[in-house]
Amino acid sequence: MLERITRLSEEIADFQSADPAAIERFRIQVLGKKGAVNELFRAFKAVPKDQKKILGQRLNELRDKAREKLVTLQAALEAHAVDSPKIDDLTKPGIPVCLGSRHPISLVQNQIIRIFSRMGFGVAQGPEIEDDWHNFTALNLPAHHPARDMQDTFFIEKNPDRLLRTHTSSVQIRYMEQHEPPIRILAPGRVYRNETIAAHSHFQFHQVEGLYVDKGVSFADLKQTLQFFAKSLFGKSKIRLRPSYFPFTEPSAEVDVYWGLNSEADHRITKGTGWLEIMGCGMVDPNVLENTNIDPKTHSGFAFGMGIERIAMLRYQIDDIRLFFENDVRFLSQFASESQTPIPK
């Protein structure tokens, strides 16, 4: 029996094939119910007791070797099938590929940037983890200033000077520190405030803020710039500016665009007034210019800022801000056609 085991072991080791039918015949002949290995196990019952230990070990090794050989052959067969796919008919229609789409926040942000780029505005970026100076103090918000309570801030644990930026105005401060006027930039990006998540509020959202600093910049320049923006984005040329307060601009204003009252939706989103608030703006406070080493006696500037989610909700008639952050394919797929529209230069 030992000779039969040795001979069968050599045959198993020598066997090679890439033919599925040949591999199946090998399995049946060696490991099948009536195969060579089971035949040896049946003959093992008649082996003398003093030989059972050695022959039993050899039989178990033979069976394991045959199983490992079969697994190796089948794995090689499957790998070859993946590497060399079979093409039945080249005239068959191909498998459709689902194209992705740009996120509505990206669509609106890119459109805003394109509009202001036509007026000479460039794009500036800054860190989302900021320090107190760039996020508050340099923007005319010193320690214990009551206006700091307007923005519930996420502070970095164990470091009260580090925080998640509450607005992209910090990017404007960094840019003014590193560049001399004339300055004309947009600062788009994600910001964070410790607010309750609801249909119209979220702890994270996106802003686009603009800054223009030069000699002789006036409030009239600001109004004309915003009127061009409203006409380009909404198709509405009638805007109004209402007095407001921001620590880093003086005077400050809220900007409304006349949306109209042509439908039930218009009445709902404008609360029956026809006017819709879209952003805040104002002339850069002289203290902010001094904090960035720009002489307020020779230079002036204006700044404005808007929430991208708010603009997107108006543009696409979306009534829940949470949809922007849930990554629901059913929601995002609605913007596929607009995503594939060529971006004009």
Kindly indicate the confidence band of residue 24, based on its pLDDT and cuts at 50, 70 and 90.
confident
Residues 115 and 232: their CA atoms lie apart, in Å, by 7
Whether 42 and 149 map to the same domain: the answer is no
For the stretch 283-329, pLDDT in tens is 999 999 999 999 999 999 999 999 999 899 888 888 889 999 988 88
- Domain shared by 77 and 108, yes or no: no
Average pLDDT on 237-258 reads: 93
Provide mean pLDDT across the span 1-22: 81
Look at residue 55 and tell me whether its pLDDT is greater than 80. no
Q: Residue 87 pLDDT > 80, yes or no? A: no
Helix axis angle for 49-83 and 2-14, nearest 10°, is: 10
Q: Output the pLDDT for position 119.
A: 95
pLDDT of the residue at 344: 42
User: Are 58 and 136 in a shared domain?
Assistant: no
* pLDDT exceeds cutoff 80 at 166: yes
94 domain residue, yes or no? no
**Mean of the per-residue pLDDT values for the chain?**
86
Any idea what the CATH number is for the domain that residue 227 is in?
Answer: 3.30.930.10
Q: What local confidence, expressed as pLDDT, does residue 145 receive?
A: 73
* 8 A C-beta contact, residue 181 and residue 216: no
Could you tell me if residue 303 is inside a domain? yes
Say yes or no: 55 and 114 in one domain. Answer: no
* Same structural domain, 75 and 115: no
Q: Specify the number of domains making up the chain.
A: 2
Identify whether 96 is part of a domain. Answer: no
Please check whether residues 237 and 310 belong to one and the same domain: yes
pLDDT for the residue numbered 206? 95
- For residues 204 and 334, state if they share a domain: yes
Residues 151 and 299 in one domain: yes
For residues 333-339, give the mean pLDDT: 75
In this structure, the answer to whether residues 21 and 147 fall within a common structural domain is: no
Find the Cα–Cα–Cα–Cα dihedral 248, 210, 325, 196, rounded to 10°.
10
Query: What's the whole-number mean pLDDT along residues 44-50?
Result: 77
Average pLDDT of the segment spanning 61-72: 84
pLDDT at res. 81: 63
Residues 185 and 226 in one domain: yes
Task: Return the higher-pLDDT residue of 61 and 232.
Answer: 232
What percent of the chain shows pLDDT beyond 70?
94
Q: Is 217 helix (H, G, I), strand (E, B) or coil?
A: coil
- Cβ of 49: how many Cβ atoms within 10 Å? 6
Average pLDDT over residues 152-180: 90
DSSP β-bridge partners for residue 243: 253
Who has greater pLDDT, 5 or 267? 267
* Prediction pTM value: 0.68
216 backbone dihedrals φ, ψ, rounded to 5°: 75, 20
| 136, 170 contact by CB (below 8 A) | no
Q: Which range, 1-10, 83-92, 250-259, is most confident?
A: 250-259
Q: What does the angle CA 40 – CA 44 – CA 49 come to, to the nearest 5 degrees? A: 155
Residues 122 and 253 in one domain: yes
Residues 59 and 204 placed together within one structural domain of the fold: no
Measured CA to CA, the distance from residue 91 to residue 86 in angstroms comes to: 14
Which pLDDT value is given to residue 150? 61
Q: In 3D, which of 195, 257, 190 has the Cα closest to residue 223?
A: 257
Q: What pLDDT, on the 0 to 100 scale, is given for residue 293?
A: 94
The H or E element that residue 77 is part of is helix 49-83
Residue 292: how many CB atoms within 10 A of its CB? 18
Rounded Cα distance between 171 and 185, Å, is 10
- Tokens found for residue 227: 């009127």
Is residue 88 situated within a structural domain?
Answer: no
Whether residue 89 is contained in a domain is answered as no
Domain residues for the domain of 35 are 2-83
CA 75 – CA 56 distance, rounded (Å): 29
Segment holding 9, helix H or strand E? helix 2-14
What phi, psi does 2 have (nearest 5°)?
-60, -35
CA 191 to chain centre: 14
3-state secondary structure 218-286: CHHHHHHHHHHHHHHHHCCCCEEEEEEEECCEEEEEEEEEECCCCCHHHHHHCCCCCEEEEEEEEEECH
| pLDDT one-digit tens code per residue, 141-165 | 887 777 666 668 888 877 778 999 9
Least trusted range by pLDDT, from 56-65, 110-119, 126-135, 333-342: 333-342
